[in-house]
Structure 1
Amino acid sequence: MNMSRQLWSLALPAMLTNVATALFGLADMWAIGRLGDAPAQGAVELGAKFMLGLLNVFNFLRTSTVALTAQGSGRGDTQAGATLVRAAGVSLAIGLVLLVAMPLTIPLGLDLLGAEGAVRTAASRYIEVRYWAGPVWLLNCVLVGWMIGRRKVRQVLAVEIIANVVHIALDVLLVLVAGWGVTGVAVATLASELLKFALLAVLMTREGAVPACAAAIRRRSTWARQELAPLFALNRDLFVRTLLLTGSILLFARTGAEGGPVTLAANGVLFQLFMLSTLLLDGFESGAQVLCGEASGAGSRRRFTDALKAALVSGGAMGLVVAIVYALAGPALAGAFSTDPQVIAATARYAPWIALLPLLGVCSFVFDGAFVGAGWTRAMLGTMAVAIAAYLVALAALRPLGNHGLWAAFAVLFAGRALAQAAVLPGLVRRSFSAS
């Protein structure tokens, strides 16, 4: 199978999986939007941003598990169970810490997001329910990462589809039928995350992972320092990098909140559409992680460059398609997620930005996959820091333009990431594959 076909065999199921994941947020915004209550819609937006900020910084659990599993496959390593056990142990420890810190993190997070009045009250109610899904979400990251690293992407897609069908059904039932409002949205998310874990557990059992994991737990080598070091090194760099990215998203939400409930609600709808495009294009990042990780494990420079080129070409083409769709239908799509005339007008006004972002972001997504797969997480962290600095400068300079300035600064963030990564890539390839 040539490299492009291998990429698409991984990227297409990953794209569909990510789109299914995005339906969580879109279904929530659609259901709460049917109530025509801008403060409630803004509360779900802020609550979702809080949970994104709290949990997304730990998405390195999935990313590092994909990379280490793929690298092991490239080396012909048969100890995949040890990788899964180590990552699962880290996720469980983090989940316990988050639960203990719950009474502090919720009010602090709402303060940082600038939530006030009715929006704060409703957002707090949403978070207090959804927070309990956090530890399960962390463990699901590890299980999904292990499956993707073993090229079991189609099985992951099936799990996401089932979980999302249930999620959407619960949104309709709890929000629109039972009238639970913001609380109903949170309960739907909690229930679907638990269902996802149950389905993944069934798949892991069928893959024979349970005996392998049980054996890995008992082996001393699983917990040896030299075996744990790669996991912690990757996780450390990815954690800080994700923390920077999440901080930029929270800053985006906080700045948008200064424009009032209508602007906040409009940005929330547009951001969900942006996340839809991001998760779609992220399929090529997942493909690059696996293929570049396998090439790195095998020490093959040619396989690495072929995989990267295939991901950039295919990802760029898909980014262009998404940009065209959003340019033509963006305002109509955004307007479908609210019945408030002011929110609909605001989404139409700022919709052109979500057509630009896929073109700017797709290269950085693919580079992220290649950097993680090869283990160049320290370099990826450095390029993210450069992009964040450019974002902060743009945010200050473009502040007079209001919400348009906010979206323009956000676009600078993604352009900066891609340019910085492209600049350091040749040197990294030369050093890592000097003997290939």
Structure 2
Amino acid sequence: MKARTIWALALPAMLTNVATALFGLADLWVIGRLGDAAAQGGVELGARFMTSLLVVFNFLRTGTTALSAQQAGRGGAGGQAATLAPILAHAALLAAAIAALLLAAYPLIVPLGLGWLGAKGDLSLLAGAYIARRYGAVPAALINGALTGWLVGQRQVRGVLAAEVGANLVHIALDLTLVLGLHWGVGGVASASLISEWLKFAFLLMLALRQGAWQGLRQHHALLSDLTPFRRLLALNRDLFLRTLLLTGVMLEFTRTGAKAGAVTLAANGILFQMFMLSALILDGFETAAQVLCGEAAGQGDAPAFRAAARANLRWGLGLGLVITLVYAVAGAQIAASFTLNHAVQAEAIRIAPWAAALPVLGVASYVMDGVFVGAGWARAMLGTMAAAFAAFNAALWLAAPLGNIGLWLSFYLLLVARAGGQLLCLPGLVRRHLSG
């Protein structure tokens, strides 16, 4: 597997993901200029709630990427618009249906979610205000997942990058204007996210239309009468949904444990978690490359190409993960401290930063293997390995409770290692059963 092929997919995906990470980092940095731990903690709780709610439905992106790449691998490129447009249509319809349900359930799930996260007093009020403003972006965010997956599955990663960068530049400009200029506080941060998400939807929709989505639908008259592809999408997405639900449970438990320790610990963990997410989103470029390359190989039934793509992405991912870990080990504490003017939050972030520094190199194998499994459509195996890792995390969290916040981060270590270990153990048998060669 040529490095150029991998990096042609991974690098634009990395840049796209970094642009996505700027959502959280810009929000934290701007609200941190206010020097108010409660406001920063409220944004962290509200953002974590929204992220957790939406990431549960990340299968709309990953499942659509896998099906599009597999179809391209079978030779769909010859009639790309006609063969691939129905995949987008089915995913977009599913996204719209889920969005309608979430909008209807808003009065129920927001109080339940904030209560489970342990939000009280000012933290609860500020987080609730943030969610109320940003919730209007839910339909755009879900359909954006389907649009992004469809485009990435056809190797249109540069177009997705352009849309993401454009939307995030607007987001940062709105953050600065609404929070620091107009003094809207938490509401300004949420408004910036709302507007930029809908702008990204407009960008991605234009890209999909240029890629032939509408012409393909006009050529495909059996979109609703032939539900076989839709059932395949639902079957793949069901297992991805349950797997992501477990991962989201870990993220919520992580936030909940920090919230129990107070606003200072919650805010400090939020900063370090955003740094972790930045590294994860960079390294996820290799997950995207693995999804596309392994998906194409699986569509062709080419086991040697599949193995080569998996190995090459793992090698490159581990190398870059080590580099990021070294950067965080040297400068992580200073970077974390720069995100707030509150001295107590700074002190806690500096204390925990060395423990968070190892996460990039420990986690990268799990990201790459997710791409391998998604590309092949092995969502059931992903669900099983995630269930085992989920159990390991919760057991470690209970055992490490006397260590306080450090125990929380060590438990997160175990989650990442267990995810990757389980998938690597399952991989040889799955290749033998499902691929030829």
2:206 is matched with which residue? 202
1:81 is matched with which residue? 85
The separation in 2 between residues aligned to 1:143 and 1:296, in whole angstroms, is 22
The separation in 2 between residues aligned to 1:215 and 1:392, in whole angstroms, is 50
1:18 is matched with which residue? 17
The letter of the residue matching 2:343 is P
The letter of the residue matching 2:306 is F
Shift of 1:380: 0.7
1:331 is matched with which residue? 333
Alignment of 1:397-436 (within 5 A): 397-433=399-435, 435-436=436-437
The separation in 1 between residues aligned to 2:168 and 2:296, in whole angstroms, is 31
Shift of 1:223: 4.6
Tell me the alpha carbon deviations over residues 194-230 of structure 1, each in whole angstroms, 9 at most, x when there is no partner: 11011112212222222213443xx225552322222
Shift of 1:389: 0.7
Q: Which runs of 5+ in 1 are unaligned?
A: none
The letter of the residue matching 1:355 is A
The separation in 2 between residues aligned to 1:212 and 1:225, in whole angstroms, is 17
> Which deviates more from structure 2 when the two are superposed, residues 206-215 or residues 142-151?
206-215
On the 8 A contact 1:293/1:374 being kept in 2, the answer is: yes
Other structure's SS at 2:17 match: helix
The separation in 2 between residues aligned to 1:221 and 1:133, in whole angstroms, is 27
The separation in 2 between residues aligned to 1:224 and 1:378, in whole angstroms, is 25
Alignment of 1:169-208 (within 5 A): 169-208=173-212
Is 2:155 aligned against 1:151? yes
1:287 is matched with which residue? 289
Q: Which runs of 5+ in 2 are unaligned?
A: none
Is 2:31 aligned against 1:32? yes
2:248 is matched with which residue? 246
- State the TM-score, normalizing by the size of structure 2: 0.97
The separation in 2 between residues aligned to 1:128 and 1:291, in whole angstroms, is 40
The separation in 2 between residues aligned to 1:189 and 1:29, in whole angstroms, is 12
The letter of the residue matching 1:181 is G
On the 8 A contact 1:221/1:227 being kept in 2, the answer is: no
The separation in 2 between residues aligned to 1:214 and 1:397, in whole angstroms, is 58
Count of residue correspondences: 432
The separation in 1 between residues aligned to 2:24 and 2:60, in whole angstroms, is 21
Other structure's SS at 1:351 match: helix
The letter of the residue matching 1:134 is V
Alignment of 1:282-431 (within 5 A): 282-431=284-433
On the 8 A contact 2:90/2:230 being kept in 1, the answer is: yes
The separation in 1 between residues aligned to 2:218 and 2:241, in whole angstroms, is 28
1:4 is matched with which residue? 3
Shift of 1:326: 0.6
The letter of the residue matching 1:130 is R
Shift of 1:288: 0.1
The letter of the residue matching 1:189 is S
Instruction: Give the aligned CA root-mean-square deviation in angstroms.
Output: 1.0
Tell me the alpha carbon deviations over residues 238-272 of structure 1, each in whole angstroms, 9 at most, x when there is no partner: 00000000000000000011111100000000111
The separation in 2 between residues aligned to 1:201 and 1:321, in whole angstroms, is 36
The separation in 1 between residues aligned to 2:105 and 2:292, in whole angstroms, is 35
Other structure's SS at 2:60 match: helix
The separation in 2 between residues aligned to 1:214 and 1:133, in whole angstroms, is 29
2:227 is matched with which residue? 225
Instruction: Choose which of 142, 162, 165 in structure 1 pairs with 2:166.
Output: 162
Other structure's SS at 1:266 match: helix
Shift >6 Å, 4+ stretches: none
- State the TM-score, normalizing by the size of structure 1: 0.98
